[in-house]
Homo-oligomer: A and B are copies of this chain.
């Protein structure tokens, strides 16, 4: 129950923190030595190759031009300069749509969106109503009522609730209208984006899972036979998938050794008087001391031998061919047909789906059988439920330790220390650790679900994180107690009692959420722009590891938009804004401030820093949409509960219709727009096919598709071996397999024969975490991989 002055103090502190961060950023940003930390995107894009600075030595590291210090906030207008279509070309559609969500919350760039009119209306209508009818003034002695409460619904007599109900209707209609328009926009942008993409392997390719194993036939033969029969006019070729998980592990280990070798060689170069040595035992702590460089070279040699053996084994053994394949078609139309239809009368066989981008494939998950997928999903959803509702139990346990009086009695001499440690520090630490590892846990869980694209687990983890936030942050803050206690009490309350219980506490918690927004949304976002962690790591690496310009590029960690964390917290802000719009409108300016500030910061980061990992074509939008709808429904139910306790029960039927209407609106939107995110319409496919035929009639698709979906490990093969694999599996015309223009369009350096070389391109780092080091996984990616020409208003070739 904070008073207005408490809020003021808190606001002051947070604003000062935010300003301190911004100031630090402004100073650090213009130092040439930090250039690669704050502008990595431009290096990756090829727009920048070294810091622009004056000639002398000091100026290479420190900015001496004092004029630039005066305009320390000039990144803000710069961030707004780039137009949306430029932004899409620069950083991909995902990033542009991600920013649109923020602008949906505030008013920048795209005109007035959701919250600006709501804030204005709510502040000008509700606060006078709430203040004027001061019923709570007289209850002050009995109830502890804060100043904020005076501005909220707690202060209103029953009759005037109709103002609130009316506004709830108004806001719902407004938000739904905006969501509809936005969904329409995003769907159009997505289709335009897809239409403007250059020819890419995934447009022609379908991933086929659960290919039945017929004895006497190889998987390749069954595939050829099946698709030649059932897609005779469009089937082109296919690419088998090998179970090379073991080999990938070897590759990973060898890469680690290579890193050590590099490190030691660098060390030797710098201090050439002394060859580095190491002990051969566990962690280098004991054992015989040997020359490090020789040791690692020897080890790598052995690994190369083993890997060659393993590679041969994978290739020779028919058992290592998985019942999965990438099937390519002669046209986008053929692939669209195959991806959307059921192939076999047994619907668990010959499962077809659009193939993800080659760099987006999660190779390990390709081999999971159908039944196992069902079981995995069940287990994971049970675990998520447990995680969400029992996550706080360990913390409660730690907290209960603080009250162990028995412990005190047993060891009275430890008392002062133990008490302060147990009560003050341990629970907080436990909570911090648990919250810190939560996103990782959720990502691991999502990966176990068995998705074949690397980008899918991100969306799934985002959903799980949202549930966690909803239960543990939103509900957990309103109804105090752990989520488990809530669950218990909810199970023993009637369904009509639950919104009432929560609804009543909502106005009381407004001050808490205002503080939350300021800490997490203002200071936190300002911290994001400072990039303290990458800054420190970059300079450390720069000091110890970097020997060449290419290594410096490696050390640069641009990062990317962290969708699994940012999307759910964004949705939490929407929830807060929508719930409090009618109840305590004074919260709205804080939310608005968050959206505007976060929009600016993320726009700056996306333009200058982040490097896009993959392009999903705004695949996350339907989730964002449906979660804003969920927020609306939650707000309506809570208002219903709140008014029920306020002796305004007559209004129940009026408000009860609203959730039903909102949900039907959602249903309508789902029908209307969602297919644009799930399926590729034949009309579009055909249009692009025809366009291709007229512009480039003699492209050889076979060579273009030949090894787009070759398992990354074969990228490291000798020329000869590769040829062998291809002839064996892909049926490529040998004479054409290298050097023609179609080939060079997707892969510029993958035919290079020597395996361990560092990519010079903008290789995304994602796969690296999941199995394959960059030199194996990404040789085939190229700077033009995102290349497409985005037309702001494409000519509609058919009327």
Residues of A within 8 A of B (CB): 191, 214, 226, 229-231, 233, 333, 336-337, 340-345, 347-348, 350, 370-371, 374, 378, 382, 490-497, 660, 664, 667-668, 671-676, 679-684, 686, 798-799
Contact = CB atoms under 8 A, between A and B. Distances in A.
Contacts of A370: 671
A799 B348 CA distance: 18
Nearest to A798: B229
A67 to B, nearest CB: 52
A673 B683 CA distance: 30
Contacts of A686: 229-230
A191 B345 contact: yes
A668 B378 CA distance: 10
Nearest to A679: B342
Nearest to A673: B347
Nearest to A667: B374
Given A337-B341, A683-B345, A374 B492 contact: no
A675 B341 CA distance: 10
A490 B494 CA distance: 8
22 contacts: A191-B345, A214-B799, A226-B683, A229-B683, A230-B682, A336-B341, A337-B341, A340-B340, A342-B675, A342-B680, A343-B683, A344-B681, A344-B683, A345-B681, A345-B683, A345-B684, A347-B671, A370-B671, A371-B668, A378-B660, A378-B664, A494-B494
A682 B343 contact: yes
A347 B675 contact: yes
A226 B682 CA distance: 11
A215 to B, nearest CB: 10
A341 B679 contact: yes
B492 A491 contact: no
A341 B491 CA distance: 44
A497 B664 CA distance: 30
Contacts of A682: 230-231, 341-343
Contact of A341 (B341, B347, B490, B497): B341
Nearest to A657: B382
A694 to B, nearest CB: 14
Contacts of A378: 660, 664, 667
A389 B544 CA distance: 74
Nearest to A337: B337
B681 A342 contact: yes
Contact of A496 (B226, B348, B491): B491
A608 B341 CA distance: 41
Contact of A660 (B333, B350, B382, B684): B382
B345 A672 contact: no
Given A495-B495, A660-B382, A681 B337 contact: no
A230 B344 CA distance: 24
Given A343-B682, A345-B683, A491-B494, 8 more contacts: A230-B683, A233-B233, A345-B684, A347-B674, A350-B683, A371-B668, A374-B667, A492-B494
A686 B227 CA distance: 11
A683 B352 CA distance: 13
Contacts of A214: 799
A679 B491 CA distance: 41
A169 B491 CA distance: 24
B494 A664 contact: no
Contacts of A347: 671-676, 681
A684 B345 CA distance: 7
Given A233-B233, A664-B374, A681 B343 contact: yes
B344 A672 contact: no
Contacts of A660: 378, 382
Nearest to A489: B494
Contacts of A495: 490-491, 495
A374 B491 CA distance: 34
Nearest to A684: B345
Contacts of A371: 668
A231 B334 CA distance: 11
A350 B679 CA distance: 14
B343 A672 contact: no
Contacts of A667: 374, 378
Contacts of A374: 664, 667-668, 671
A222 to B, nearest CB: 11
B491 A676 contact: no
A767 to B, nearest CB: 29
A670 B269 CA distance: 65
Nearest to A232: B686
A686 to B, nearest CB: 5
Contacts of A490: 495
Q: Which residue among A226, A667, A681 has the maximum number of chain B CB atoms within 10 Å of its CB?
A: A681
Nearest to A668: B374
Contacts of A333: 230
A354 to B, nearest CB: 13
A449 B668 CA distance: 15
Contact of A342 (B340, B342, B344, B496): B340
A792 to B, nearest CB: 18
Contacts of A229: 683, 686, 798
A262 B230 CA distance: 56
A497 B675 CA distance: 41
Contacts of A345: 191, 676, 681, 683-684
A378 to B, nearest CB: 5
Contacts of A679: 341-342
A689 to B, nearest CB: 10
A226 B683 CA distance: 8
Contact of A671 (B336, B348, B671): B348
A347 B230 CA distance: 26
A672 B342 contact: no
A799 B222 CA distance: 10
A497 B490 CA distance: 11
A674 B676 CA distance: 24
A182 to B, nearest CB: 17
Nearest to A495: B491
Contacts of A675: 342, 347
A742 to B, nearest CB: 25
A793 to B, nearest CB: 15
A223 to B, nearest CB: 13
A181 B529 CA distance: 60
Contacts of A342: 340, 675, 679-682
A497 B497 CA distance: 14
Nearest to A215: B799
A683 B799 CA distance: 36
Nearest to A375: B664
A385 to B, nearest CB: 10
A209 to B, nearest CB: 13
Contacts of A341: 336-337, 340-341, 679, 681-682
A349 to B, nearest CB: 9
A225 B761 CA distance: 45
Nearest to A664: B378
Given A378-B664, A494-B494, A672 B348 contact: yes
A674 B345 CA distance: 11
A680 B230 CA distance: 13
A379 to B, nearest CB: 10
Contacts of A492: 494, 496-497
